[in-house]
Chain A
């Protein structure tokens, strides 16, 4: 698809990156997957504007951008709850809206959640794919716009679509009260930890350290002691892994994780709950519950049903302003 319009970045926000479902099938070459932190909200934003889930969105983090729209197009935002205006008119998160050429989409105050996804009708963000994906991995300068977060003055290519059936969705139920309960499947190195570590993991709130980012969340709490010495031989790792270096401070691996690691992994946060983890900010808290593979899959099916129920058919008519 060819870019036929663009968004001009007036203010970039704290960390606004082009993301999609990730750069899969190159981990053999140690290419990190990257991609969206909250896949649920990304998919929903794309659905609202009639895009495929593979289309790239802009992932907005904590402080949102201001974007001047250089073509008439329909857009939608899902995920974290921000005050939004387009052309100085309030628009709602989870609702398709039309933007006219020259109008500015402004992310204002954030009420809940950490990350929002902006989808643009017509096929999404059209920065050139790298190894089959548009996902930005800032650490290795790969994908997105020059392998980095957006900065003021950037021009983000899109293929705008001025008409789209109106649609709205409730969105992900965001964590409230600055905490979330996440389910953890033990393993594969759960036998490196004794009952004390498991008791601590599942009975204490862990605070997300300020030294957290898209690669991983460092979690502050009681140290999770290894029950044996040494380290496992480095092996492939995935998002959600709860790896515990010898000092006992766990790190929850997120979207920008490396492809392999040599720390013992006590468990993995289940896929269904990773979208909740993505909506927490540093300083907020995580509580963990143990679960089995069957429970993890049941939770994922429930999450998928919830998303599908929101992916209703658009209403009749066209968005007009």
Chain B
């Protein structure tokens, strides 16, 4: 583990730089422990795939005490060797057709039929590694390597809300209409993000997701 400065208002805790469920769980766990301490001056604690960002007010934070807290909690979080009982979400999806315009392109990439792409995509229990890009957008892994098509060469100006995409071994649902370059293979009507809801995001780091073809 390394604690690095990302400017004067954020510490970045770097774990082993791999995309791995156990390492990711350590980052999430470390974030949870630190959040519970409610350290004065800390404004936000944000887990990544294998890192943790700790945003703080430099004028209100005792950095020595914060780093000590990180090391203490990391020794506890570092003992995570198996995954806790996660929250599991079932998300119904209509694959292909007008709402999955890139399903055929992914099938061509995989050298299989669109039906087989759907089967391989829906067969996996995905882990939420982190959220990013736009509110409620969860990076899910891992996609079966045979259907792990790269991003579109030319991104779309608008991807509709609820669109389910693939980008390499990542998959995810666009919570809102945004520009996007992922291969769109389906759509869900589940609301992924609603600022009026607590928590606003349906998915949180560490959750598991099943996509259910409809």
Contact = CB atoms under 8 A, between A and B. Distances in A.
Given A31-B135, A258-B133, A271-B7, A235 B176 contact: no
Contacts of A24: 43-44, 55
A188 B55 contact: no
A269 to B, nearest CB: 7
Contacts of A187: 4-6
A176 interface: no
Contacts of A130: 195
Report whether over half of chain B's contact residues are helix, strand or loop; otherwise say mixed.
loop
Contacts of B201: 29-30
B84 interface: no
Nearest to B199: A29
B185 interface: no
B59 A237 contact: no
A28 B139 CA distance: 12
A317 to B, nearest CB: 33
A85 to B, nearest CB: 37
B53 A237 contact: yes
Interface stretch (B8-16, B99-107, B112-120, B145-153): B8-16
Given A24-B55, A27-B55, A300-B58, A238 B48 contact: no
Nearest to A183: B8
Interface residues of A, number: 45
Contact of B17 (A27, A33, A232): A232
A207 interface: no
A268 interface: yes
B135 A140 contact: yes
B186 interface: no
Interface string A2-42: 00000000000000000000001111111111000000000
A136 to B, nearest CB: 13
Contacts of A32: 135
A28 B133 CA distance: 11
B38 to A, nearest CB: 11
A260 B17 CA distance: 15
Interface string B127-162: 000111111110100000000000000000000000
Interface size class of B (residues with CB under 8 A): 35 or more
Interface in B7-65: 7-10, 12, 14, 17-19, 31, 43-53, 55, 58-59
A131 B132 contact: no
B135 A29 contact: yes
A314 to B, nearest CB: 24
A224 interface: no
A265 interface: yes
B10 A238 contact: yes
Contacts of B48: 233-236, 260
A139 B47 CA distance: 23
Given A25-B44, A130-B195, A188 B4 contact: yes
A238 B136 contact: no
18 contacts: A28-B131, A29-B135, A188-B12, A235-B49, A235-B51, A236-B46, A236-B53, A237-B6, A238-B10, A239-B9, A240-B9, A260-B48, A260-B133, A271-B7, A296-B7, A297-B58, A300-B8, A304-B59
Interface of B: 4-10, 12, 14, 17-19, 31, 43-53, 55, 58-59, 130-137, 139, 176, 193, 195, 199-201, 204-205
